[in-house]
Copies of this chain bind each other. A is one copy, B any other.
Amino acid sequence: MSGNKPLRPHPDRLFPAEPEQRAIARRLHEAVRDLPIISPHSHIDAALLDRDQPFGDPATLLVTPDHYVTRLLHAHGVTMSELGLADRDGTETAAPREVWRRFCSHWHFFLGTASRQWLEAELHDVLGVTVQPSADNADALYDELVAKLAEPGLSPRALYESFGIEVLATTDDPADDLRHHRALAEDPTWHGRVVPTFRPDSYLDATNPEWPRALDRLAAAGGIDTGDYRGTLRALESRREFFRENGATTTDHSAPDARMEFLDEAEASRLFDAARAGTADTEEAATLSRHLLGEMARMSSEDGMVLALHTGSGRNHHPETLRRYGPDTGHDIPLAAEFTRSLRPMLERFGTHPRFRTVVFTLDETVFSRELAPLAGFYPSVYLGAPWWFLDAPRAMRRFRDAVTETAGFHRTSGFIDDTRGFCSIPARHDTARRVDAAHLAGLVAEHLIDEDAAAEVLHDLVVRQPREAFRL
Protein backbone atom coordinates (compact mmCIF):
# COMPACT_ATOMS: atom_id res chain seq x y z
CA MET A 1 0.00 0.00 0.00
CA SER A 2 2.21 2.82 -1.23
CA GLY A 3 1.40 6.28 0.09
CA ASN A 4 0.41 4.87 3.44
CA LYS A 5 1.61 6.69 6.49
CA PRO A 6 3.22 4.44 9.06
CA LEU A 7 1.47 3.67 12.34
CA ARG A 8 3.97 3.05 15.09
CA PRO A 9 3.25 4.20 18.62
CA HIS A 10 6.50 5.54 20.03
CA PRO A 11 8.00 3.77 23.06
CA ASP A 12 8.49 7.15 24.78
CA ARG A 13 5.03 8.50 24.08
CA LEU A 14 3.53 10.61 26.85
CA PHE A 15 6.86 11.04 28.59
CA PRO A 16 8.20 14.57 29.10
CA ALA A 17 10.36 15.93 26.31
CA GLU A 18 13.04 17.24 28.63
CA PRO A 19 15.74 14.52 28.58
CA GLU A 20 16.31 14.17 32.33
CA GLN A 21 12.62 13.83 33.09
CA ARG A 22 12.10 11.52 30.15
CA ALA A 23 14.77 9.18 31.41
CA ILE A 24 13.21 9.10 34.88
CA ALA A 25 9.74 8.54 33.46
CA ARG A 26 11.04 5.71 31.30
CA ARG A 27 12.55 3.97 34.31
CA LEU A 28 9.45 4.44 36.43
CA HIS A 29 7.19 3.14 33.68
CA GLU A 30 9.43 0.21 32.90
CA ALA A 31 8.97 -1.07 36.45
CA VAL A 32 5.17 -1.14 36.25
CA ARG A 33 4.63 -1.77 32.55
CA ASP A 34 4.02 -5.47 32.95
CA LEU A 35 2.12 -5.44 36.21
CA PRO A 36 -1.29 -7.07 35.98
CA ILE A 37 -4.30 -5.02 34.96
CA ILE A 38 -6.88 -4.39 37.66
CA SER A 39 -10.06 -3.06 36.09
CA PRO A 40 -12.56 -2.11 38.81
CA HIS A 41 -15.08 -0.50 36.44
CA SER A 42 -15.85 -1.38 32.83
CA HIS A 43 -18.80 -1.85 30.52
CA ILE A 44 -17.53 -5.11 29.05
CA ASP A 45 -20.24 -7.75 28.86
CA ALA A 46 -19.38 -10.97 30.71
CA ALA A 47 -21.02 -12.85 27.83
CA LEU A 48 -18.11 -11.81 25.65
CA LEU A 49 -15.72 -13.91 27.68
CA ASP A 50 -18.22 -16.63 28.45
CA ARG A 51 -19.08 -17.22 24.80
CA ASP A 52 -15.60 -16.43 23.50
CA GLN A 53 -16.79 -15.81 19.96
CA PRO A 54 -14.43 -14.08 17.50
CA PHE A 55 -14.97 -10.35 17.03
CA GLY A 56 -15.81 -10.49 13.33
CA ASP A 57 -15.02 -7.15 11.71
CA PRO A 58 -13.18 -3.97 12.72
CA ALA A 59 -16.15 -1.62 12.42
CA THR A 60 -18.26 -3.67 14.81
CA LEU A 61 -15.28 -4.04 17.10
CA LEU A 62 -13.89 -0.50 17.12
CA VAL A 63 -16.42 1.97 15.76
CA THR A 64 -20.13 1.30 16.09
CA PRO A 65 -20.32 0.46 19.82
CA ASP A 66 -17.84 3.13 21.00
CA HIS A 67 -19.62 6.39 21.64
CA TYR A 68 -16.29 8.19 22.06
CA VAL A 69 -15.66 7.42 18.40
CA THR A 70 -19.13 7.82 16.95
CA ARG A 71 -19.77 11.17 18.62
CA LEU A 72 -16.79 12.84 16.95
CA LEU A 73 -17.64 11.35 13.57
CA HIS A 74 -21.17 12.61 14.09
CA ALA A 75 -19.79 16.08 14.84
CA HIS A 76 -18.05 15.93 11.48
CA GLY A 77 -21.33 15.27 9.72
CA VAL A 78 -21.56 11.50 9.60
CA THR A 79 -25.01 10.28 10.65
CA MET A 80 -25.54 7.59 13.25
CA SER A 81 -27.07 5.32 10.59
CA GLU A 82 -23.92 5.70 8.53
CA LEU A 83 -22.01 4.54 11.61
CA GLY A 84 -23.95 1.34 11.90
CA LEU A 85 -26.63 2.29 14.40
CA ALA A 86 -30.17 1.15 13.80
CA ASP A 87 -32.59 4.01 13.26
CA ARG A 88 -36.12 3.66 14.59
CA ASP A 89 -37.22 6.02 11.82
CA GLY A 90 -36.02 3.51 9.27
CA THR A 91 -33.10 5.08 7.38
CA GLU A 92 -30.85 2.29 6.23
CA THR A 93 -28.11 1.14 8.60
CA ALA A 94 -24.72 1.10 6.94
CA ALA A 95 -22.94 -2.22 6.54
CA PRO A 96 -19.73 -2.68 8.57
CA ARG A 97 -17.49 -2.14 5.55
CA GLU A 98 -19.15 1.21 4.83
CA VAL A 99 -18.84 2.19 8.47
CA TRP A 100 -15.17 1.32 8.35
CA ARG A 101 -14.66 3.43 5.22
CA ARG A 102 -16.18 6.45 6.92
CA PHE A 103 -14.06 5.90 10.00
CA CYS A 104 -10.90 5.67 7.91
CA SER A 105 -11.68 8.73 5.81
CA HIS A 106 -12.22 10.81 8.98
CA TRP A 107 -9.16 9.44 10.78
CA HIS A 108 -7.33 12.79 10.75
CA PHE A 109 -10.10 14.46 12.74
CA PHE A 110 -9.13 12.31 15.71
CA LEU A 111 -5.67 13.90 15.88
CA GLY A 112 -4.97 15.05 19.41
CA THR A 113 -7.85 13.15 20.97
CA ALA A 114 -7.61 10.44 23.59
CA SER A 115 -9.54 8.09 21.31
CA ARG A 116 -6.86 8.43 18.68
CA GLN A 117 -4.23 7.14 21.08
CA TRP A 118 -6.29 4.18 22.17
CA LEU A 119 -7.17 3.39 18.59
CA GLU A 120 -3.55 3.60 17.49
CA ALA A 121 -2.51 1.27 20.28
CA GLU A 122 -5.35 -1.16 19.58
CA LEU A 123 -4.65 -1.21 15.88
CA HIS A 124 -0.92 -1.58 16.28
CA ASP A 125 -0.38 -3.54 19.46
CA VAL A 126 -3.45 -5.77 19.44
CA LEU A 127 -4.30 -6.07 15.76
CA GLY A 128 -0.87 -5.68 14.20
CA VAL A 129 -1.75 -2.80 11.89
CA THR A 130 1.28 -0.77 10.80
CA VAL A 131 -0.32 1.92 8.62
CA GLN A 132 -2.53 4.87 9.43
CA PRO A 133 -6.12 4.28 8.28
CA SER A 134 -7.12 6.44 5.33
CA ALA A 135 -9.79 6.62 2.66
CA ASP A 136 -7.35 4.91 0.30
CA ASN A 137 -6.50 1.90 2.41
CA ALA A 138 -9.86 1.40 4.13
CA ASP A 139 -10.95 -1.61 2.10
CA ALA A 140 -7.62 -3.37 2.23
CA LEU A 141 -7.42 -2.77 5.96
CA TYR A 142 -10.93 -4.04 6.43
CA ASP A 143 -10.18 -7.29 4.63
CA GLU A 144 -6.91 -7.71 6.50
CA LEU A 145 -8.63 -7.21 9.86
CA VAL A 146 -11.57 -9.47 9.14
CA ALA A 147 -9.09 -12.24 8.40
CA LYS A 148 -6.99 -11.49 11.44
CA LEU A 149 -9.95 -11.36 13.82
CA ALA A 150 -10.78 -14.95 12.91
CA GLU A 151 -7.43 -16.12 14.33
CA PRO A 152 -7.62 -17.90 17.69
CA GLY A 153 -5.05 -15.60 19.26
CA LEU A 154 -7.53 -12.76 18.92
CA SER A 155 -10.45 -14.44 20.65
CA PRO A 156 -11.74 -12.64 23.75
CA ARG A 157 -10.31 -15.19 26.17
CA ALA A 158 -6.97 -15.31 24.43
CA LEU A 159 -6.79 -11.53 24.58
CA TYR A 160 -7.81 -11.50 28.24
CA GLU A 161 -4.80 -13.69 28.93
CA SER A 162 -2.39 -11.75 26.76
CA PHE A 163 -3.54 -8.43 28.22
CA GLY A 164 -2.51 -9.66 31.67
CA ILE A 165 -5.83 -8.89 33.30
CA GLU A 166 -6.00 -9.89 36.95
CA VAL A 167 -9.60 -8.90 37.56
CA LEU A 168 -12.28 -7.31 35.40
CA ALA A 169 -15.42 -5.79 36.90
CA THR A 170 -18.43 -5.57 34.62
CA THR A 171 -21.47 -3.34 35.14
CA ASP A 172 -24.74 -5.18 35.61
CA ASP A 173 -28.42 -4.76 36.18
CA PRO A 174 -29.51 -5.95 39.64
CA ALA A 175 -32.14 -8.09 37.94
CA ASP A 176 -29.50 -9.84 35.88
CA ASP A 177 -29.14 -13.54 36.68
CA LEU A 178 -25.36 -13.26 36.21
CA ARG A 179 -25.41 -16.46 34.21
CA HIS A 180 -22.27 -15.53 32.34
CA HIS A 181 -20.37 -14.68 35.48
CA ARG A 182 -21.47 -17.98 36.99
CA ALA A 183 -20.65 -19.92 33.84
CA LEU A 184 -17.15 -18.47 33.84
CA ALA A 185 -16.68 -19.24 37.53
CA GLU A 186 -17.72 -22.82 36.93
CA ASP A 187 -15.68 -23.27 33.76
CA PRO A 188 -12.54 -25.29 34.60
CA THR A 189 -10.82 -24.07 31.43
CA TRP A 190 -11.15 -20.45 32.48
CA HIS A 191 -8.65 -18.95 34.91
CA GLY A 192 -9.59 -15.28 34.86
CA ARG A 193 -11.62 -13.26 37.35
CA VAL A 194 -14.68 -11.43 36.09
CA VAL A 195 -16.83 -9.89 38.79
CA PRO A 196 -20.17 -8.15 38.45
CA THR A 197 -20.98 -4.65 39.69
CA PHE A 198 -24.39 -3.79 41.10
CA ARG A 199 -25.78 -0.87 39.07
CA PRO A 200 -29.28 -0.11 40.35
CA ASP A 201 -29.94 3.26 38.62
CA SER A 202 -33.24 2.24 37.08
CA TYR A 203 -34.59 0.97 40.42
CA LEU A 204 -33.66 4.14 42.29
CA ASP A 205 -34.79 6.77 39.82
CA ALA A 206 -38.43 7.27 40.68
CA THR A 207 -38.64 10.23 38.29
CA ASN A 208 -38.44 7.85 35.34
CA PRO A 209 -41.90 6.79 34.11
CA GLU A 210 -40.46 3.30 33.63
CA TRP A 211 -39.62 3.00 37.32
CA PRO A 212 -42.69 0.96 38.39
CA ARG A 213 -42.02 -1.56 35.62
CA ALA A 214 -38.37 -1.73 36.64
CA LEU A 215 -39.45 -2.61 40.17
CA ASP A 216 -41.67 -5.32 38.74
CA ARG A 217 -38.65 -6.77 36.95
CA LEU A 218 -36.66 -6.62 40.17
CA ALA A 219 -39.39 -8.51 41.98
CA ALA A 220 -39.44 -11.14 39.26
CA ALA A 221 -35.67 -11.54 39.37
CA GLY A 222 -35.38 -11.93 43.11
CA GLY A 223 -38.71 -13.32 44.14
CA ILE A 224 -39.34 -10.54 46.64
CA ASP A 225 -42.36 -8.33 46.27
CA THR A 226 -41.55 -4.69 45.43
CA GLY A 227 -45.06 -3.38 45.86
CA ASP A 228 -44.18 -1.46 48.99
CA TYR A 229 -41.20 0.40 50.38
CA ARG A 230 -40.00 -2.23 52.83
CA GLY A 231 -40.28 -4.99 50.27
CA THR A 232 -38.31 -2.98 47.76
CA LEU A 233 -35.49 -2.40 50.24
CA ARG A 234 -35.47 -6.12 51.02
CA ALA A 235 -35.43 -6.93 47.32
CA LEU A 236 -32.47 -4.61 46.77
CA GLU A 237 -30.62 -6.04 49.76
CA SER A 238 -31.28 -9.53 48.49
CA ARG A 239 -29.93 -8.74 45.03
CA ARG A 240 -26.85 -7.10 46.56
CA GLU A 241 -26.27 -10.30 48.47
CA PHE A 242 -26.69 -12.33 45.27
CA PHE A 243 -24.16 -10.10 43.53
CA ARG A 244 -21.71 -10.42 46.42
CA GLU A 245 -22.03 -14.18 46.30
CA ASN A 246 -20.98 -13.93 42.68
CA GLY A 247 -17.93 -11.84 43.41
CA ALA A 248 -19.22 -8.28 43.36
CA THR A 249 -17.53 -5.81 45.69
CA THR A 250 -19.01 -2.58 44.39
CA THR A 251 -22.26 -0.82 43.62
CA ASP A 252 -22.19 1.86 40.95
CA HIS A 253 -24.44 4.89 40.58
CA SER A 254 -25.09 7.40 37.86
CA ALA A 255 -27.46 9.97 39.33
CA PRO A 256 -27.42 13.49 37.84
CA ASP A 257 -25.83 14.71 41.07
CA ALA A 258 -24.62 13.32 44.37
CA ARG A 259 -27.38 14.64 46.59
CA MET A 260 -28.96 12.21 49.02
CA GLU A 261 -31.85 12.46 51.42
CA PHE A 262 -32.34 10.46 54.58
CA LEU A 263 -36.07 10.52 55.23
CA ASP A 264 -37.74 8.79 58.10
CA GLU A 265 -39.40 5.54 57.15
CA ALA A 266 -42.96 6.87 57.25
CA GLU A 267 -42.17 9.70 54.84
CA ALA A 268 -40.11 7.46 52.56
CA SER A 269 -42.92 4.94 52.51
CA ARG A 270 -45.47 7.61 51.70
CA LEU A 271 -43.44 8.94 48.79
CA PHE A 272 -42.77 5.40 47.60
CA ASP A 273 -46.45 4.57 47.50
CA ALA A 274 -47.24 7.75 45.62
CA ALA A 275 -44.48 7.21 43.09
CA ARG A 276 -45.35 3.55 42.65
CA ALA A 277 -48.93 4.60 41.96
CA GLY A 278 -47.81 7.31 39.56
CA THR A 279 -49.30 10.08 41.69
CA ALA A 280 -46.09 11.63 43.02
CA ASP A 281 -45.16 15.00 41.58
CA THR A 282 -41.71 15.61 40.12
CA GLU A 283 -40.21 16.98 43.31
CA GLU A 284 -41.58 14.12 45.41
CA ALA A 285 -40.21 11.57 42.97
CA ALA A 286 -36.82 13.30 42.98
CA THR A 287 -36.79 13.36 46.78
CA LEU A 288 -37.58 9.67 46.89
CA SER A 289 -34.80 8.98 44.37
CA ARG A 290 -32.30 10.84 46.53
CA HIS A 291 -33.53 8.91 49.53
CA LEU A 292 -33.12 5.57 47.75
CA LEU A 293 -29.56 6.53 46.86
CA GLY A 294 -29.05 7.30 50.53
CA GLU A 295 -30.36 3.82 51.33
CA MET A 296 -27.61 2.42 49.12
CA ALA A 297 -25.10 4.22 51.33
CA ARG A 298 -26.76 2.79 54.42
CA MET A 299 -26.65 -0.72 52.93
CA SER A 300 -22.98 -0.24 52.02
CA SER A 301 -22.22 0.60 55.63
CA GLU A 302 -23.79 -2.74 56.53
CA ASP A 303 -22.66 -5.12 53.80
CA GLY A 304 -19.36 -3.43 52.98
CA MET A 305 -19.97 -2.99 49.27
CA VAL A 306 -18.09 0.01 47.93
CA LEU A 307 -20.35 2.83 46.75
CA ALA A 308 -18.99 4.19 43.46
CA LEU A 309 -20.54 7.51 42.48
CA HIS A 310 -20.42 8.41 38.79
CA THR A 311 -22.56 11.51 38.82
CA GLY A 312 -22.78 14.73 36.84
CA SER A 313 -23.65 13.67 33.32
CA GLY A 314 -26.58 15.34 31.59
CA ARG A 315 -27.79 12.27 29.77
CA ASN A 316 -29.27 12.28 26.29
CA HIS A 317 -28.87 15.92 25.43
CA HIS A 318 -30.31 15.58 21.93
CA PRO A 319 -33.85 14.18 22.11
CA GLU A 320 -34.08 13.26 18.43
CA THR A 321 -30.92 11.16 18.57
CA LEU A 322 -32.21 9.45 21.70
CA ARG A 323 -35.54 8.71 20.07
CA ARG A 324 -34.01 7.35 16.88
CA TYR A 325 -30.84 5.65 18.11
CA GLY A 326 -31.29 5.11 21.84
CA PRO A 327 -29.11 6.13 24.80
CA ASP A 328 -25.30 6.05 25.07
CA THR A 329 -24.92 7.54 21.62
CA GLY A 330 -22.45 10.31 22.39
CA HIS A 331 -24.62 13.17 23.61
CA ASP A 332 -24.33 12.84 27.36
CA ILE A 333 -22.90 16.24 28.31
CA PRO A 334 -21.39 17.03 31.71
CA LEU A 335 -22.88 19.47 34.17
CA ALA A 336 -21.29 21.61 36.86
CA ALA A 337 -20.77 19.48 39.96
CA GLU A 338 -21.06 20.11 43.67
CA PHE A 339 -19.98 17.69 46.40
CA THR A 340 -19.22 19.63 49.56
CA ARG A 341 -22.87 20.17 50.39
CA SER A 342 -24.25 17.22 48.43
CA LEU A 343 -22.21 14.56 50.18
CA ARG A 344 -22.65 15.99 53.64
CA PRO A 345 -25.80 14.06 54.61
CA MET A 346 -24.11 10.80 53.63
CA LEU A 347 -20.81 11.61 55.28
CA GLU A 348 -22.47 12.93 58.41
CA ARG A 349 -23.89 9.41 58.82
CA PHE A 350 -21.22 7.14 57.42
CA GLY A 351 -18.11 9.24 56.82
CA THR A 352 -16.15 7.62 59.64
CA HIS A 353 -18.04 4.32 59.63
CA PRO A 354 -15.49 1.47 59.55
CA ARG A 355 -17.31 -0.61 56.91
CA PHE A 356 -18.39 2.23 54.68
CA ARG A 357 -16.35 3.13 51.62
CA THR A 358 -17.15 5.39 48.66
CA VAL A 359 -15.26 6.34 45.51
CA VAL A 360 -16.33 9.66 44.06
CA PHE A 361 -15.90 10.44 40.36
CA THR A 362 -16.53 13.69 38.54
CA LEU A 363 -16.84 15.08 35.02
CA ASP A 364 -16.23 18.57 36.34
CA GLU A 365 -12.54 19.22 36.97
CA THR A 366 -13.20 22.23 39.14
CA VAL A 367 -14.10 20.04 42.11
CA PHE A 368 -10.79 18.16 42.11
CA SER A 369 -8.87 20.72 44.12
CA ARG A 370 -11.84 22.53 45.58
CA GLU A 371 -13.91 19.71 47.02
CA LEU A 372 -12.80 16.15 46.37
CA ALA A 373 -9.19 16.39 47.50
CA PRO A 374 -10.20 18.12 50.76
CA LEU A 375 -12.96 15.53 51.36
CA ALA A 376 -10.71 12.54 50.62
CA GLY A 377 -8.03 14.25 52.69
CA PHE A 378 -10.19 14.03 55.81
CA TYR A 379 -12.74 11.19 55.57
CA PRO A 380 -11.22 7.72 55.80
CA SER A 381 -14.18 6.35 53.84
CA VAL A 382 -13.79 8.63 50.82
CA TYR A 383 -11.54 7.75 47.90
CA LEU A 384 -10.99 10.26 45.16
CA GLY A 385 -12.02 8.67 41.87
CA ALA A 386 -9.58 8.74 38.98
CA PRO A 387 -10.17 10.92 35.91
CA TRP A 388 -13.27 9.62 34.20
CA TRP A 389 -14.87 9.73 30.75
CA PHE A 390 -13.97 13.01 29.03
CA LEU A 391 -11.23 13.49 31.61
CA ASP A 392 -9.76 10.04 31.04
CA ALA A 393 -7.07 11.44 28.74
CA PRO A 394 -3.41 12.32 29.20
CA ARG A 395 -3.57 16.07 29.73
CA ALA A 396 -6.65 15.80 31.93
CA MET A 397 -5.01 13.05 33.97
CA ARG A 398 -2.04 15.32 34.47
CA ARG A 399 -4.29 18.14 35.63
CA PHE A 400 -5.94 15.70 38.03
CA ARG A 401 -2.66 14.80 39.74
CA ASP A 402 -1.60 18.44 39.80
CA ALA A 403 -4.92 19.41 41.34
CA VAL A 404 -5.27 16.78 44.04
CA THR A 405 -1.87 15.52 45.15
CA GLU A 406 -0.80 18.54 47.13
CA THR A 407 -3.89 18.24 49.31
CA ALA A 408 -4.62 14.50 49.40
CA GLY A 409 -1.37 12.83 48.41
CA PHE A 410 -1.41 9.79 46.17
CA HIS A 411 -2.88 7.30 48.57
CA ARG A 412 -6.38 8.70 48.83
CA THR A 413 -6.98 8.24 45.09
CA SER A 414 -8.67 5.21 43.60
CA GLY A 415 -6.23 4.16 40.94
CA PHE A 416 -7.20 3.99 37.30
CA ILE A 417 -10.55 2.77 35.99
CA ASP A 418 -10.98 2.23 32.26
CA ASP A 419 -14.79 2.48 32.08
CA THR A 420 -14.49 1.00 28.64
CA ARG A 421 -16.95 -0.51 26.20
CA GLY A 422 -14.07 -1.51 23.92
CA PHE A 423 -12.43 -4.70 25.13
CA CYS A 424 -9.34 -4.21 22.98
CA SER A 425 -8.75 -0.76 24.41
CA ILE A 426 -8.16 -2.06 27.94
CA PRO A 427 -4.37 -2.41 27.78
CA ALA A 428 -3.93 0.88 25.93
CA ARG A 429 -5.99 2.75 28.50
CA HIS A 430 -4.20 1.29 31.50
CA ASP A 431 -0.84 1.86 29.88
CA THR A 432 -1.76 5.48 29.22
CA ALA A 433 -2.55 5.95 32.90
CA ARG A 434 0.73 4.34 33.91
CA ARG A 435 2.65 6.52 31.49
CA VAL A 436 0.97 9.71 32.60
CA ASP A 437 1.56 8.93 36.26
CA ALA A 438 5.16 8.00 35.49
CA ALA A 439 5.56 11.32 33.70
CA HIS A 440 3.95 13.21 36.56
CA LEU A 441 6.16 11.53 39.14
CA ALA A 442 9.21 12.10 36.95
CA GLY A 443 8.39 15.79 37.10
CA LEU A 444 8.32 15.70 40.90
CA VAL A 445 11.61 13.82 40.97
CA ALA A 446 13.24 16.23 38.52
CA GLU A 447 12.01 19.16 40.60
CA HIS A 448 13.51 17.45 43.67
CA LEU A 449 10.23 17.18 45.53
CA ILE A 450 10.36 13.42 45.88
CA ASP A 451 13.19 10.98 45.33
CA GLU A 452 13.11 8.37 42.61
CA ASP A 453 12.81 5.39 44.95
CA ALA A 454 9.77 6.90 46.58
CA ALA A 455 8.31 7.72 43.16
CA ALA A 456 8.71 4.11 42.10
CA GLU A 457 6.89 2.92 45.21
CA VAL A 458 4.10 5.40 44.65
CA LEU A 459 3.64 4.31 41.04
CA HIS A 460 3.49 0.68 42.08
CA ASP A 461 0.86 1.58 44.66
CA LEU A 462 -1.19 3.51 42.10
CA VAL A 463 -1.21 0.53 39.74
CA VAL A 464 -2.03 -2.24 42.17
CA ARG A 465 -2.54 -1.14 45.78
CA GLN A 466 -4.97 1.72 45.29
CA PRO A 467 -7.56 0.01 43.07
CA ARG A 468 -7.50 -3.10 45.26
CA GLU A 469 -7.98 -1.04 48.39
CA ALA A 470 -10.51 1.45 47.06
CA PHE A 471 -12.72 -1.21 45.48
CA ARG A 472 -12.00 -3.97 48.01
CA LEU A 473 -10.82 -6.24 45.22
Flag if A314 contacts B333 (CB, 8 Å): no
Least CB distance from A347 to B in Å reads: 7
Flag if A380 contacts B340 (CB, 8 Å): no
CA distance A75 to B379 in the complex (A): 5
Least CB distance from A70 to B in Å reads: 9
**Contact for A370 among B336, B347, B449, CB less than 8 A:** B336
CA distance A77 to B353 in the complex (A): 11
Interface digits, A16-42 against B, CB 8 Å rule (1 contact, 0 not)? Answer: 111011000000000000000000000
Complex interface residues of chain A between 330 and 346 (CB less than 8 A to chain B): 330-336, 338, 340-341, 344
Interface size bracket, A side: 35 or more
Flag if B448 contacts A318 (CB, 8 Å): no
Q: Provided the pairs A18-B18, A449-B117 are in contact, do residues A112 and B410 lie with their beta carbons within 8 angstroms?
A: yes
Least CB distance from A452 to B in Å reads: 12
Least CB distance from A394 to B in Å reads: 7
Flag if B393 contacts A407 (CB, 8 Å): yes
CA distance A449 to B121 in the complex (A): 11
**Contact for A378 among B14, B317, B409, CB less than 8 A:** B317
Least CB distance from A306 to B in Å reads: 16
Is residue A390 contacting chain B, with contact meaning CB distance below 8 A?
yes
Interface digits, A87-119 against B, CB 8 Å rule (1 contact, 0 not)? Answer: 000000000000000000000111111100100
Contacts of A369 in B (CB 8 A): 365, 390-391, 396
CA distance A378 to B364 in the complex (A): 18
Contacts of A321 in B (CB 8 A): 352
Flag if B17 contacts A21 (CB, 8 Å): yes
**Contact for A371 among B17, B333, B448, CB less than 8 A:** B333
Is residue A446 contacting chain B, with contact meaning CB distance below 8 A?
yes
Is residue A447 contacting chain B, with contact meaning CB distance below 8 A?
yes
3 shortest interchain CB distances as A-B pairs: A10-B448, A17-B446, A393-B406
8 pairs, CB–CB < 8 Å, chain A vs chain B: A14-B449, A71-B378, A75-B408, A331-B378, A335-B341, A336-B370, A365-B370, A369-B396
